[in-house]
């Protein structure tokens, strides 16, 4: 249960409902959708609104346009959504203005329209009140289903809620439910798998989690900084030399709180990510000229041996440079192992983590893979997300 009202708590029949979705999907160079996970994740909300006889007006951003940008129009997304719903989805060329107003006035119950990329208007990111009012004037109810954009106070995620009754969609509800359960009430033992590029991006999250977690398993670029802080030689590995003291402090705090921290015992190294020659070395003995791009096989076994007793797992950050073979192996192996466990709540957050789990083919076997990158991390840090805060309390 979440403490915000959802679309179940409000009468939507016959009403014009403005739904902020996160259709910020990856596009290839030709503008085709590479991954429609974020579109599929909003289907429960849209299908519910159709079934309940609402007039559904969808709005999203896509990419980072500076003004109108034909390569970032929402047309391919409207087409894909229409295929997924098995129903016509109208698409307009703007998100405010006379044409849009005229269209929404004539909508029938069950109709779905997708407005144009909201970031074509610079007022969106400025959370401009006039712009938010114009968006609000299109509808009678506001639904926020864009968890991935909830950490931004923009006009379509935050400002608009001042002028309309605002509730959560089903995706938003699901994200809050799973992420808050692992954040606030994890079943023990609670494991965190932490990787990714940098400690500095995630210090607050690590500190916040120290009070709740039983074991940290650390890999990826993040582990290098910890290993170096403990006196290891890391060669040319990605390492934050100005964070060594901080890494030592985090380890000390963990020890005081009786939180176990496991670092890699071996690493997969190469001169460059593209190099043909890949070696495995003990984790504190990376030779000059080499860099660690993945955890080694002994570390994979060590991590598996620990993870098998977990009841809750939260994973953020790939354990190596998963975009480049063979440095995806550590991440893939651990991902498959977590996915194979029964009786464990497995939740993952982070943009690259979600791609890595998808690449490993196990994203659907996790209890929950967040659609939010930055938003899921800020949520786990315990910060208030503006796009959630403005929704009506239960
Ligand atoms: P998320 O988006 O899930 O929060 P991050 O953005 O923190 O994750 O980290 C993902 C990035 O970290 C990936 O681009 C990956 O290649 C990189 N990375 C992980 N391990 C290493 C490493 N050992 N060396 C260099 N880059 C790494
Ligand atoms: Mg990232």
Choice among 358, 374, 382, 383 that is catalytic: 374
Residue to substitute in 243, 317, 328 for testing ligand 1 pocket (most ligand atoms within 8 angstroms of CB): 317
In this prediction, residue 205 carries a pLDDT of 83
Strand ranges across the sheet with 166-168: 90-91, 112-114, 55-59, 16-20, 141-144, 166-168
Residue 253 is among the residues annotated as catalytic for this protein: no
For residue 198, the model assigns a pLDDT of: 83
For the segment 327-345, the average pLDDT, to the nearest whole number, is 97
Supply the pLDDT for residue 351.
87
51-88 in b/e burial notation, b at 16+ Cβ within 10 A?
ebebbbbbbbbbeebeeeeeebbbebbbebbbebeeee
How far is ligand 2, taken at its centre, from the CA of residue 337, in Å?
22
Choosing from 87, 126, 183, 198, the catalytic residue is 198
For the question of residue 198 being annotated catalytic, the response is: yes
Helix (H, G, I), strand (E, B) or coil at 89: coil
pLDDT value, residue 209: 87
In the prediction, which pLDDT does 1 show? 62
**Does this chain's domain 7-171 share its CATH topology with 178-380?**
yes
When pLDDT is averaged across residues 341-354 and rounded to a whole number, the result is 93
Domain borders along the chain are 7-171, 178-380
**Is the CB of residue 235 below 6 angstroms from any atom belonging to ligand 1?**
no
Q: Is 373 in the pocket of ligand 1 (CB under 6 A)?
A: yes
Q: Which CATH class is domain 178-380?
A: alpha beta
Q: What percent of the chain has pLDDT over 70?
A: 100
- Average pLDDT of the chain is 96
Residue 38 appears among annotated catalytic residues? yes
Q: What is the CATH number of domain 7-171?
A: 3.40.50.1260
Q: Which residue of the set 15, 20, 38, 73 is catalytic?
A: 38
* pLDDT tens digit sequence for 120-169: 999 999 999 999 999 999 999 999 999 999 999 999 999 999 999 999 99
The pLDDT value recorded for residue 329 is: 98
Q: What is the pLDDT of residues 89-131, one digit of tens each?
A: 999 999 999 999 999 999 999 999 999 999 999 999 999 999 9
Q: Please tell me if the CB atom of residue 292 comes closer than 6 angstroms to any atom of ligand 1.
A: yes
For residue 21, the CA-to-ligand 2 centroid distance in Å is: 21
The rounded Å distance from CA 348 to ligand 2 centre is: 13
Peptide bond into 189 cis (omega under 30): yes
Mean pLDDT for 262-286 is: 97
Per residue in 178-236, pLDDT tens? 999 999 999 999 999 999 998 888 888 888 889 889 999 999 999 999 999 999 999 99
């Amino acid at each position: 249960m979440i403490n915000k009202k959802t679309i179940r708590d409000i009468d939507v029949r016959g009403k014009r409902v403005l739904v902020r979705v996160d259709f910020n999907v990856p596009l290839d160079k030709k503008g085709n959708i590479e991954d429609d996970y974020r579109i599929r994740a909003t289907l429960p909300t849209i299908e519910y609104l159709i079934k309940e006889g609402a007039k559904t007006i969808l709005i999203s951003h896509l990419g980072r346009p500076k003004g109108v940008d034909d390569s970032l129009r929402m047309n391919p997304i409207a087409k894909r959504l229409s295929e997924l719903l098995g129903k016509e989805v109208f698409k307009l060329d703007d998100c405010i203005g006379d044409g849009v107003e005229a269209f929404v006035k004539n909508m029938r119950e069950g109709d779905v329209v997708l407005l144009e990329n909201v970031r074509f208007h610079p007022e969106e990111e400025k959370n401009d009140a006039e712009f938010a009012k114009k968006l609000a004037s299109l509808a009678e109810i506001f639904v926020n289903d864009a968890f991935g954009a909830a950490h931004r106070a923009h006009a379509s995620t935050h400002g608009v809620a001042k002028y309309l009754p605002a509730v959560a969609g089903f995706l938003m509800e699901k994200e809050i439910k799973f992420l808050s359960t692992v954040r606030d009430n994890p079943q023990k033992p609670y494991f965190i798998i932490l990787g990714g590029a940098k400690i500095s991006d995630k210090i607050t999250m690590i500190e916040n989690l120290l009070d709740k977690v039983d074991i940290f398993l650390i890999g990826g670029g993040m582990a290098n900084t910890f290993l170096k802080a403990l006196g290891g030689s890391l060669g040319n590995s990605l390492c934050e030399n100005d964070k060594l003291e901080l890494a030592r402090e985090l380890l000390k705090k963990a020890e005081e709180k009786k939180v176990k921290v496991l670092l890699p015992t071996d690493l997969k190294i190469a001169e460059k990510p593209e190099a043909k020659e890949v070696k495995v070395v003990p984790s504190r003995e990376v030779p000059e000229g080499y860099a660690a791009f993945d955890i080694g096989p002994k570390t994979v076994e060590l991590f598996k041996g620990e993870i098998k007793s977990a009841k809750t797992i939260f994973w953020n950050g790939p354990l190596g440079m998963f975009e480049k073979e063979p440095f995806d192996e550590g991440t893939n192996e651990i991902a498959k192992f977590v996915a194979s466990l029964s009786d464990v709540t497995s939740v993952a957050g982070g943009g690259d983590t979600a791609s890595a789990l998808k690449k490993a083919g196990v994203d659907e076997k996790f209890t929950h893979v967040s659609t939010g990158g930055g938003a899921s991390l800020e949520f786990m840090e315990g910060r208030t997300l503006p796009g959630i805060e403005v929704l009506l309390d239960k």
